Structure 1
Amino acid sequence: MAEPKIFNNIKILRFEAGGISQAELAKRVGVTRQTILALEAHKYSPSLELAFKIAAAFDVPLNEVFQYGVLEDD
């Protein structure tokens, strides 16, 4: 059985927010574009502070951005 991990909807939320770039989101939350890229690729799990900053940048609840579990196709 696969280990649970953190998944996110950042790419979808960027699109729904008018197509803001990874660089723009990174600037808004105080990280590099590479950090946003790693998050979207599920290669990096954010700190709790960063997770809240990203949710606030999109003005959505934290659980709309991040989920914890196992994907069905894992």
Structure 2
Amino acid sequence: MRAFGTDFAVPSGYLNTPSVGIPPAPVAEAVAESVDRWRTGATRPGEFDQYVTRSRAGFARLLGVDPGRVAIGASA
């Protein structure tokens, strides 16, 4: 668990909050890269399909159901 903690740039005295937490550095870097590709028109919607498929499969495993029964959509 200690190695996991090194992925966070947490300032001294920071108290964790469930509303807006500090993301791990690798996550923040991946999001920044994705937004940059989006901003410059270098990405296509289909590039995200693999992540949707992996997410559905992982959530299905947690629930013990077939991935085809897991829906992913926009929230409104």
TM-score bracket for this pair, using the shorter chain length: under 0.3
TM-score (norm 1): 0.26
Choose between structure 1 and 2: higher strand proportion.
1
TM-score (norm 2): 0.26
Which of the pair has the greater relative contact order for Cα pairs under 8 Å at 6+ separation? 1
